[in-house]
Amino acid sequence: MQNRWNEHEANQYSYDDLLLRVYSSRLLGQEPDLVLHGGGNTSVKTTVTNLFGDHEEILYVKGSGWDLATIEAAGFAPVKLSVLTRLATLAHLSDTEMVTWQRAAMINPNAPTPSVEAILHALIPFKYVDHTHADAVVTITNTQAGEVRVRELYGPRLLIVPYVMPGFILAKAIYEMTKTLNWETIEGMILLNHGVFTFGETAKSSYERMIQIVTVAENYLRQQGAIIQAPPPTTSSDYLPALAQLRRAVSKAQGTAVIAKLDTSADAWQFANLPQVADLATRGPLTPDHVIRTKRIPLVLSSTEEIETTVNHYLQSYRDYFLRHTNGQLTQLNPSPCWAVWPAWGLISFGTSVKAANIVSDIKDHTIRAIQQAEILGGWQALPERDIFEMEYWELEQAKLRKTSAVLPFQGKVALVTGAASGIGRACAEALHRQGAAVVALDLNPSVTTLFKSSTLLGRVCEVTDGEQLQAAVAQTVRRFGGLDIVVSNAGIFPPSETIADTKPSTWEKSLAVNLSSHQSLLQQCIPYLKLGIDPAIVIIGSKNVSAPGPGVSAYSVAKAGLTQLARVAALELASLGIRVNVVHPNAVFDTAIWTPEVLEKRAKHYGMTVESYKTNNLLKVEVTSKDVAALVCAMAGPVFAKTTGAQVAIDGGNERVI
């Protein structure tokens, strides 16, 4: 493992113990093979002067909820060292009591809750302490002869600690083990099936000990031939309907919409197609800390069973697992799977957001590599089921899970919006995304790719009149997020004003192609996935011209009328599939690309109005904006319109001709 210590950078923080602690913690956090998504913890012991001028020995330890890769000084909890070391002498202490006493001993009540390993950090008589869940070390210990191997590798310079639950139990076990230990004779500790502790009087010495210990383990794996080489991945897309079906089944089990992130990479494909994958994948997680994110085992899909049947078997298996170990006082957690093994295709990670699914995916990547390496060493062997259960239902983890955060209306939903580079389409894409949806935004304008380029709001160039491009865009949406729930069919053009007598064939044909036929093509591509979606909804952007056309715009008005009729028929056809289809009819929405200041000025002058009076020329005397239309679209796609289909709603401030 690369030693990232930079003397020049470190010297910039040498005047402050805590800032130097931040620096070396981030070095550890930059290595995903050491810590993942909040895993691991670090500390530094220092002296502070309190309000009364007294000197106090303080342990700054990583606070709960902070990630070592990005931690700041504010992420460390300052706890009185004397209290922590005294807690270790108690015969018994529940984890809830431990957290209470640790918080009571903090000198800053606004700091984050101290790590559950704070007492252990306090017991180690060195200034700097580092703790990671190093993949290479844990992989070796997760084998049948794991303890023997690490003792041979490191000898007496490391203390080997059998697995016990983190928190007070672990601290107490090490307190008893080290009562007569000369700490100067060891450089660190290996917690079997859990991770590594190193320590030193300087941040550099503790950090470099960690790197050296992990490097020894990595070299050992290489020497034993535990190197995983994957074949080329598959490039087929035949799995997309089944992926959407799986996402729906897991969402149903979860009780809410989830993102399904499919990994068809070479590594994922190889693992999924191991002959004994069903056995290997279900022996347990890489480290018990992962169980909160991944559950004890993944779902393993069967080629001989229907997807929903396989998911139901998983749910029943989880209930049986819970009943085997519950003491009658626990409440069962959600039993739905967090990741899945899909032979012939790859691996799938589930989450109620893209971020959550990505975290599961990262953990999965490290797990499958460790499993295969451990098999080469003689056999993958995770902790017993009971130990994993105790971690999953640990009172401190349960307390975290009970702290529910607000759920956005479209959390876990997947939306597709056409004509999204400006105006109404852009406002719809942004509004759906703000409310929690993962969104793919399509537009002919290449700027859509720079407007929307996040992992949850993706812009894609697409000519909606090109059936192949539409098909590819829909496929990408399903491949990226696992399914499709919401379609906002918005793309359109406003052709030049021409009387019927003077309408050019090209004007007529282009308007029909963009404003009508492309929407029909989009529906054809989306329906196979929408019928597998979560409360699926289609919202079509119509026009005031449907009910109140004007002279000189036959090409536009006829196409929009046809689009509205298409929506009505779609509502009739798709209701049995649970797909809602509703129409929004905007009018006089002037914050769009076609309404330049020059055009507005010209139109207002034509009617003898100022620009401002022209923009509010409706019964309510209000201006209708793209954001207003987007708000109505979101309402139609959400629970407010959950029992409505085939509706047409005007958003125009009140138009006499329409009314």
pLDDT, tens digit (0-9, with 9 covering 90-100), for 536-561: 999 999 999 999 998 999 999 999 99
pLDDT in tens, 174-217: 999 999 999 999 999 999 999 999 999 999 999 999 999 999 99
What is the CATH superfamily name and number for domain 7-223? Class II aldolase/adducin N-terminal domain (3.40.225.10)
**What mean pLDDT comes out for the span 156-168?**
95
For the chain, what are the domain ranges? 7-223, 240-402, 414-589+624-651
Q: What is the mean predicted confidence (pLDDT) over 219-243?
A: 78
Q: Is the pLDDT of residue 153 over 90?
A: yes
Mean pLDDT of 30-35: 94
pLDDT at 232: 57
Binned at pLDDT 50, 70 and 90, residue 592 comes out as confident
Report whether pLDDT(304) > 70: no
397-408 pLDDT, tens digit each: 766 666 667 789
* 625 contacts: CB under 8 Å, gap ≥ 6: 427, 589, 590, 591
Show the CA angle centred on residue 113, arms to residues 108 and 115, nearest 5°.
120
CATH number given to 240-402: 3.40.225.10
Terminal alpha carbon distance of the chain:
72
Of residues 108, 124, 26, 12, the one with CA closest to residue 67: 26
| Token couple for 90 | 């108690």
Closest CA to 437 of 474, 400, 411, 402: 411
Q: Do domains 240-402 and 414-589+624-651 have the same CATH topology?
A: no
pLDDT of residue 133: 96
Radius of gyration of the chain (CA): 30
Each residue of 36-51: pLDDT tens digit?
888 899 999 999 998 8
Q: What is the mean pLDDT of the chain?
A: 94
Distance CA(581)–CA(648), nearest Å, equals 10
pLDDT exceeding 90 applies to what percent of the chain? 87
Per-residue model confidence as pLDDT tens digits over 118-144: 999 999 999 999 999 999 999 999 998
- Domain formed by 414-589+624-651, architecture: 3-Layer(aba) Sandwich (3.40)
Q: Which of 587, 590, 588 is nearest to 650 (CA)?
A: 587
pLDDT at 603: 81
Question: Taking residues 258-272, what's their average pLDDT?
Answer: 93
pLDDT recorded at residue 327: 84
